[in-house]
Amino acid sequence: MSLFTALDVANSGLNAQSTRLNVVASNLANANSAVSSNGQPYRAREVVFAAQPLGGAAAGVDGVTVAGVVEKPGPLKLVYDPGNPLANKDGYVAYPNVNPVDEMVNMISASRAYQADVNVMNTTKNLLLKTLTLGQ
Amino acid sequence: MLSALDREFAPLQTALDLRAQRQQLLAANIANADTPGYKAVDLDFAAAYRAALAGQPPAALPLKTEQPRHLPGTTAQPTDGFVGYQAGNAARLDGNTVDMNREQAAFQKNSIQYEADLTFLTGKIKTLTSAITGN
């Protein structure tokens, strides 16, 4: 039944967008983490999406998957704070290259895309339910 | 050879089938709105519908067979040959050509047309039922 595939496609979109929201939340929460789990200053992260053909679907019907999470390049913020134990020999502490404006834009974009996928699911569900009552 | 009932229902059944296929393609476009390099796809509904009603087999590529016992593969869908990339959309810097406004509009339009086909089919079924039962 081909309409079920539309549900699968929307589902893959929901998963991908929620991963993106998670990464945005991580970036915002760690905007001031001078040390991350690897001992280096935290670097802003970004998800990379890739289209992925779904099993059993017709040609051209691609779901979306998270191909990876990459760290953003770009200079870290250097703040002069000689009293900080993390300061380098010149007295600067390296803070993450998280740009809150970028993150908020990314968050709004992800939440709108998530809503669009939910809308696709609702509409498709209604169509399926109407198909079930065909002829009545 | 189609029976009279099949002939009665075939056009709407084909339309519903193609609308459902197009619904999948539009859902894929919406899900991939942020995928770098993704090219928006769509179905040429009119051409696919005409071909399906004319009884033309789908223009699928057959599997290459080297032995007489190899199966030719029966993966043909009624939409094969009629799905293509959307032309004329502005590509973003990451190579994505999904126009979200167009996709949302097309998706809603396709849903309404699917519902319309369902309504027509229900009407036909009711007409036939009343002809059969006579009340």
Domain extent listing, chain B: 4-55+78-133
Q: Are residues A62 and B115, on separate chains, in Cβ contact within 8 Å?
A: no
DSSP code for B53? H
- Chosen from A7, A120, A121 to mutate, greatest number of chain B CBs within 10 A: A120
Is pLDDT at B60 greater than 60 in this prediction? no
Where chain A has pLDDT below 70, the residues are: 1
The alpha carbon torsion through B100, B106, B108, B112 (nearest 10 deg) reads 180
Per the CB < 8 A criterion, the answer to whether A2 and B24 are in contact is: yes
pLDDT of B79 above 80: no
pLDDT digit string (tens) for B7-56? Answer: 888 899 999 999 999 999 999 999 999 999 999 999 999 999 998 888 76
Q: What is the mean pLDDT of residues B78-98?
A: 86
Write the pLDDT tens digit of every residue in A20-56: 999 999 999 999 888 888 888 899 999 999 999 887 7
A136 interaction partners in chain B (CB closer than 8 Å): 122
pLDDT of residue A65: 94
B57 against B72, higher pLDDT: B72
pLDDT of residue B67: 85
Domain ranges of chain A: 2-132
Integer Cα distance of B60 and A99 in angstroms? 49
Which tokens is A135 given?
Answer: 């002829």
Distance, in Å, from the CA atom of B79 to the CA atom of B66, rounded to the nearest integer, reads 27
pLDDT for res B10:
87
Nearest to B30 among A59, A60, A117 (CB): A117
Contact B32 A49 (CB under 8 A): yes
Task: For an interface test with B, give the residue of A109, A119, A127, A128 to mutate (most B CBs within 10 A).
Answer: A127
The overall pTM is greater than 0.95: no
User: What is the pLDDT at residue B107?
Assistant: 95
Specify the pLDDT at position B76: 64
Q: How far apart are the C-alpha atoms of A62 and A18, rounded to whole Å?
A: 18
Separation between Cα atoms, residue B38 and residue A48, nearest integer Å: 12
Asked if the Cβ–Cβ distance from A123 to B126 is below 8 Å, we say no
